Amino acid sequence: MLKLAAFLFAVAAFAQTPDTVFLEELTWTEVRDSLKAGKTTLIIPTGGTEQNGPHMVLGKHNFRIHHTADRIARKLGNALVAPVMAYVPEGEIAPPTGHMKFPGTLTIPDDVFRKVLESTARSAKQHGFKDIVFIGDSGPNQPGMQAVTALLNKEWAGSATRVHFIPEYYRGNGFEEWLAAQGESKAAIGTHAGISDTALLLAVNPQLVRKNKLANAGQPSETGVTGDPTRASLAYGKKGLDLIVEITVDRIRKSTAKN
């Protein structure tokens, strides 16, 4: 009897739907059932694969937005999350511009990026998602997400499906202002791989930050750093993630309430 009970328990555990909001970790029948249960919002997160100074991994944006999208979807309660888009515009290839000047960065043309966004959203609509949300962890992603949102909402006017671009995820979330209130200078906070960037990744996974490579910016054209990552901390990062998640959830709720 004990062996039978153990066997039945193991079968039940094996068959259980995992506690996840990520589309790629679900079966198609589990997605179907989630839609029927009211999970009709799909978050489409965009990251990037780019240089982040000598102290942070190339997938910084992808790791960060995977973490925040998970938290955002769970707080919303009615959302699933599409796979993170790791291929985004990062500069020209020949001659290299922007982050493409540093080994490891991967780029795609902006028009290709927009088409992938568009096709992903169209796929979601086909399956019954009613609210499709774009959030992006990188600056060059923002114009494309905004443009595709406008394009599809114009085409889908009168339908039950709407697209929502949430720019506050990336800019206007209050993190840099909070850092300034702690006494950090604008120069130290930086625009790339400085305090804010580094602190956020520390809070997601400190193993993705090479602490022995932390250094002040020097020449950004040589280091890829604008800011002072040596002043980043886990506490700063946790606060930043909380602010990003909080404002993004608020904006999504307000935007979807207008439908």
Dump pLDDT digits (tens) for 66-116: 999 999 999 999 999 999 999 999 999 999 999 999 999 999 999 999 999
pLDDT over threshold 80, residue 256? yes
pLDDT confidence of residue 258: 78
Q: Dump pLDDT digits (tens) for 65-78.
A: 999 999 999 999 99
pLDDT over threshold 70, residue 15? no
Closest CA to 84 of 105, 66, 72, 57: 66
pLDDT over threshold 70, residue 25? yes
pLDDT over threshold 70, residue 8? no
Amino acid at 189: I
pLDDT confidence of residue 11: 46
Give the residue-averaged pLDDT of 128-150.
97
Give the residue-averaged pLDDT of 22-36.
98
pLDDT over threshold 60, residue 238? yes
pLDDT over threshold 70, residue 151? yes
Give the residue-averaged pLDDT of 158-184.
97
Task: Tell me the average pLDDT of the chain.
Answer: 93
pTM of structure = 0.92
Give the residue-averaged pLDDT of 5-11.
52
Domains of the chain: 19-167 (3.40.50.10310), 176-249 (no CATH)
Q: Dump pLDDT digits (tens) for 203-233.
A: 999 999 999 999 776 778 889 999 999 999 9
Burial, 51: exposed, middle or buried (Cβ in 10 Å; 0-12, 13-18, 19+)? buried
Strands 41-46 and 162-165 come out as unpaired
| Cis? peptide before 89, omega within 30° of 0 | no
